[in-house]
Structure 1
Amino acid sequence: MIFARFGETGQEKPGVLDDQGRLRDLSGVVPDLAGAVLADLPRIDPESLPLVAGTPRIGPPVGQVGKLICIGLNYTDHAEEVGVAAPPEPVVFLKATSAICGPQDPVYLPRGAEKGDWEVELGVVIGRRAKYVTEAEALDHVAGYTIVNDVSERAFQMERAGQWTKGKSCDTFAPMGPWLVTADAVGDVQALDLSLDLNGARMQTGTTARMIFSVAHIVAYLSALMTLEPGDVIATGTPPGVGMGRKPPRYLTEGDEMVVRISGLGEQRSPVRRDP
């Protein structure tokens, strides 16, 4: 099934797509796509639900995200692109949940930003609490999958003292969605195509088959470091084609538009603005 959240920022309602791709209002069945609801997403005939009128804003497909965990350097071809060896175990960092925005919301470059960059990533949404789970058990703890654009400010990330967090967590630096797609509708999660276009030109093309660490491995690995709770989201790394890796580098400027796609998970379309 394909779920979504719609409405103004902070007032999103849960929805589900019917067979014709029309948005249906799920708010009479569950209060939100968040927390414990994700452990048992409703299996309901969308045709029995009211149609959503008009073209409302689509919000992030998960509410009340507790942790946004990111995996760095997780594609063989991206590691080659930036000139580093494949890591011996997953590279883990956290991104502030205040960076999350909807899939069509503007991305705002913060004051002083010089090197805004893009990263299309498969997002994994945890549905059931996971602690010390095995790889064989890991995917049973996943509610579904979505798209995350791990927007970065490379000067903040790489050229200022401290950790990556300061270049990863600016407001709007995690467009998420549009859909939360359950595993049965996704198929083989290690055979998904990813792409990102900038102003109509292809920047990133990849496949989850080139992941160094699989989704199951990542979930199991993280569950031994921290308890994964329903609503936590894992961004699993990016394929090649980031702005930093181009020769010469290409960074985001006001007026750009990023179009991000993953097969079966929909499309993001994010205009780039300067934070006033």
Structure 2
Amino acid sequence: MQYYRLDDTADGLVASTDDGVFDLGTAETPIGSFRALAAAAARSGSTIDAIAEAAIETSDELPAGALSAATLPARADEVWAAGVTYEISEQAREEESSEPDIYDHVYDAERPEIFFKATPNRTVGHGESVGIREDSTWDVPEPELGVVLYRGEPVGYTIGNDMSSRSIEGENPLYLPQAKVYDRCCSIGPSVASADSIGDPHDLEMRMSIERDGGTRFEGSTSTDQMKRSCEELTSYLTRHNAVPELAVLLTGTSLVPEDDFTLQEGDTIAIEIDGIGRLENDVIVV
């Protein structure tokens, strides 16, 4: 099952199933957000899909076309990210950096790279604009599978775009927070797919395209089976000795890296697709 928020839905979570699209906000016991759904599942010791299935019985059905208005599906208190979890990401970081050896050490180390990515006010949804920094000269999107956590436990998966300034990070690895954390630095969506519906998160096809002036400037695909580390391992390191908030998203790294001579420009459109989750699309503005 997939869960959405829609622009024209004032106070309700939308569930998409094989049988249709349902506004859970109209149920006899309304469900107003993904956070509320996850909380209800935790209280009952059930799954989010089981809670949603019960609510669907008294919910209004929506036309399938309603999902075109999808926006940010869940407002996470924090977004975190993992780096250098695919071999191609390690190679790209080494090429951009003045100190390339540190990325090789991270790729082979026992401890993964986990870093803070975004607060709610820095995170946008499907159809909104992501940002590139005005003081950066080399900017790229990083398409990633996101693990959605409720009280530290995985309850679903989403698509994330970990926007990154390669010029700033490449100048000095200690500039990573400035390269990664800024206005509109992260997008999430278009849905949260339940853990039960995804099955194995390490066997999903991922695709990204970047359009400019009516043409395709980048197109590529990969699979999450190329990840060196599992979602479980990355989640374990995030939650160790760390008070993760009630609702969080952990992005798990990228292997779709545009060529070194490519940089995003204002007006570009980035589209990321992952099987079972959907298509996350954002245009680009300078912030």
Shorter-chain TM-score range: 0.7 to 0.9
Displacement, 1:24? 2.3
> C-alpha offsets along residues 66-87 of structure 1, whole Å, 9 cap, x if unaligned?
2211101111232134434224
Q: Distance in 1 between matches of 2:41 and 2:220?
A: 31
> C-alpha offsets along residues 58-111 of structure 1, whole Å, 9 cap, x if unaligned?
222112x22211101111232134434224121011012122111221223333
Report % sequence identity. 25
Query: Does the 8 Å CA contact 1:194/1:262 hold for their aligned counterparts?
Result: yes
The 1:242/1:60 distance shift into structure 2, 3 A limit, reads same
CA RMSD of aligned residues (A): 2.6
The 1:69/1:8 distance shift into structure 2, 3 A limit, reads farther
Alignment length (residue pairs):
257
Query: Does the 8 Å CA contact 1:102/1:176 hold for their aligned counterparts?
Result: yes
Query: Does the 8 Å CA contact 1:4/1:16 hold for their aligned counterparts?
Result: yes
Displacement, 1:193? 1.3
| Higher percent of residues as helix | 2
Q: Distance in 2 between matches of 1:176 and 1:96?
A: 11
2:276 to 246, 249, 264: 264
Displacement, 1:205? 2.1
* Structure 2 alignment gaps of length 5 or more: 95-102
**Structure 2 length-normalised TM:** 0.80
Partner of 1:73: 84
Query: Does the 8 Å CA contact 1:100/1:176 hold for their aligned counterparts?
Result: yes
**2:210 is the alignment partner of 1:211:** no
Partner of 2:168: 156
Displacement, 1:215? 0.5
| Higher percent of residues as strand | 2
SS in 2 for 1:232: strand
Partner of 1:115: 138
> C-alpha offsets along residues 219-269 of structure 1, whole Å, 9 cap, x if unaligned?
122222313343111001001x423xx24x201001211110111110011
Query: Does the 8 Å CA contact 1:6/1:12 hold for their aligned counterparts?
Result: no
* Structure 1 alignment gaps of length 5 or more: 131-140
Query: Does the 8 Å CA contact 1:195/1:202 hold for their aligned counterparts?
Result: no
Question: Who wins on radius of gyration, i.e. which is larger?
Answer: 2
**2:226 is the alignment partner of 1:226:** no
Query: Does the 8 Å CA contact 2:11/2:25 hold for their aligned counterparts?
Result: no
> C-alpha offsets along residues 159-196 of structure 1, whole Å, 9 cap, x if unaligned?
36843121212222211011111111112111111121
Query: Does the 8 Å CA contact 2:11/2:32 hold for their aligned counterparts?
Result: no
Query: Does the 8 Å CA contact 2:127/2:282 hold for their aligned counterparts?
Result: yes
